[in-house]
Amino acid sequence: MGRASPLPSSFSIRLPYTYLEFTPQHRDFATMRLYGDAVYFGGYAQPFREVAIYRHDLKTDEESLVASPSRQDRIIGLINVTRGWLAYDDLTPINAPMQPDDDIVIYLLNLTTQERIEAARINEGGKCKQNWYTADFDGERLVWNQSVLAASGRCIHQIALYDIASRRTSILTECESPYGLDTPRIHGDRVVWNRFLATERRFTPQPTTLPGAMVIPGGESFQEIIGDVYLYDLRTGTEVNVSQTGKACQPDIWGDYVVWVELPIRFVGHEYGSGDIILHNLATKESKKITNNPLGGFDWPTVGDGIATWHQMNVGTAPIYRIADGKVAVLDQKRSGGAAVEGKVITWLWTDPNDFATRELLECKEKIKVAIFP
């Protein structure tokens, strides 16, 4: 059962918070979200395994099924749960070959009435090389990236939006290959995403096993990607490049703040783990680097109400950055992953380091941890 806890000794910022943890009864999940008195979790952490979405009641410790795949060879992933709605997707496992009748379906589930809306059906059937698919949901609007085959025979990459109130879908932006779009995120009337160009320049990087850096095998050739973070204002219909570096990817937004990963070089098929996290203030138009690791290895940042967090490859910590004074601290020193912030809540997964080193991953002791800031 979730419990309150004092500040850990490693937490150098004297900021009070409520700490909760529990051991989930079900396994194989990638996303966790606190909503009300429960934590919803699910996702496709293990391809080719049937993965469902569950609700863990923090008051009673009871765990119940919320949604399951549409058929045996499908998996589902939690997108978000907020404002009485749960968003999730139903798709073919990532590592499985796409068949002509395959598609990605995104559902919105009303937690009060149990009404389920099919908000999007992305049917590629292998006709277009789908950019890395991602989606985001703010309780009122859903955004995602998709690729469609145009009459010209070229692939059109799009950022789409579904509005619950009007039950309508609109296309916010689109481009043709070799340009691409991915990682849309929404907060309020603003949507951000990554727009990139796969160049003709190719590299053969040297092998590396440096701490904090992704292991890149030698002898493989990678195509370089030039990418930037773009912002779309739903009130004005305007789109602007907010990063303007050609090295940006993996954005997130909350209020006036946007975060992204800035990488010195990015490759098709791999994102070389040598980047830092950038925080951009939309009001002042100022950007600053909020991590400082010469080896990089930071990825998938998220930003919330006054706080931000990210992943650090090969390290396994749950960091927190306080926007007001720029201080960084660590919530969990041990093997942790999946840290994400939503508003004033950070969730992450902790794996027993003793079990992790000696046993199969699926047998490890795991806990879902939550920190709620005032």
pLDDT one-digit tens code per residue, 239-252: 999 999 988 999 99
Select the highest-mean-pLDDT range: 2-6, 104-108, 149-153.
104-108
Per-residue pLDDT at 4 exceeds 80:
no
User: Does residue 159 register a pLDDT over 80?
Assistant: yes
pLDDT for the residue 201: 58
Give this prediction's pTM: 0.87
H/E element, 354: helix 353-358
Looking at residue 250, its amino acid is Q
What pLDDT is stored for residue 149 in this prediction? Answer: 82
- % of the chain beyond a pLDDT of 90: 45
DSSP E strands: which ranges in 212-313?
A: 222-233, 238-241, 248-254, 257-262, 276-281, 286-289, 298-303, 307-312
The tens digit of pLDDT for each residue in 269-311 reads: 444 445 789 999 999 999 999 987 655 578 889 999 999 999 8
Are the C-beta atoms of 370 and 19 separated by less than 8 Å? yes
Return the higher-pLDDT residue of 142 and 18. 142
Q: Does residue 183 come out as left (phi exceeding 0), alpha (psi in the -120 to 50 range) or beta?
A: left
Bigger pLDDT: 350 or 145? 145
